[in-house]
Amino acid sequence: MMRSGAPPVIAIDGPSASGKGTVAQAVARALGCHYLDSGALYRLVALEALGRGVDLADEPTLAQLAAALDARFDGGEVFLGGRPVTGAIRSEACSLAASRVAAIAGVRAALLDRQRAFRRAPGLVADGRDMGSVVFPDAVLKVFLTASLETRAERRHKQLIDKGIAASIHTLLLDLAERDARDAARAVAPLQPAPDARILDTTGLTVAEAAEAVLAWYRGVS
């Protein structure tokens, strides 16, 4: 149940390249709500660690970096220490490092309150891997997006090609499968639907169709 008086939250979770980010942004625009890309916070921690040469197995130092993260989101741009890093956090190297960083309990604990602070009137649409299960367990609507591994690899491939980055579908398939396994097996906040989440398979859907499905569910519970 939603906390009394708290702005409503729509939590959209799912594996990498399931479409949760684009769908969540479309839903947020349609409703005039705030938007949280929780994965960006873990990417920022990873970028900071890579920039400082921190071992990604050094849990205490990574947790300290997360706690002191000098991050800012402004008009669709992401800043770290005052410098724009929107493109840098979307690199494959940062994505892979973020997956490892996100498995660390101390990092997740350090970022929990920061994520919850995005909950402001008139409401929030949050996407990630544990938005409905851990961060916003009282979300008014919880959605778990899925898509076939092949579809997700094709989506990631298109994203990289559009950025001028060479990529192999075969390599992306392996990387996504490995990340799925790591995210699902981690001890803290593993990737899995919340018990009361609605499952939405986006394999054959456009962004508009997937967003409309979420909006229809929201209209039914709000």
Domain ranges of the chain: 8-33+122-222, 38-121
What's the pLDDT tens digit per position in 117-155? 999 999 999 999 999 999 999 999 999 999 999 999 999
What's the pLDDT tens digit per position in 162-200? 878 888 899 999 989 988 888 888 777 788 899 999 999
What's residue 91's pLDDT? 85
What's residue 188's pLDDT? 76
What's residue 72's pLDDT? 86
Superfamily of domain 8-33+122-222: P-loop containing nucleotide triphosphate hydrolases (3.40.50.300)
List phi, psi (to 5°) of 44: -65, -40
**Fold assignment, 38-121:** Rossmann fold (3.40.50)
What's residue 2's pLDDT? 46
What's residue 3's pLDDT? 52
What's residue 16's pLDDT? 86
Domains 8-33+122-222 and 38-121 alike in fold: yes
What's the pLDDT tens digit per position in 58-114? 999 999 999 999 988 887 789 998 999 998 998 878 988 998 898 899 999 999 999
What's residue 1's pLDDT? 41
* Residue 24 confidence (pLDDT) above 90: yes
Higher pLDDT, 191 or 54: 54
What's residue 166's pLDDT? 82
Mean pLDDT of the chain: 91
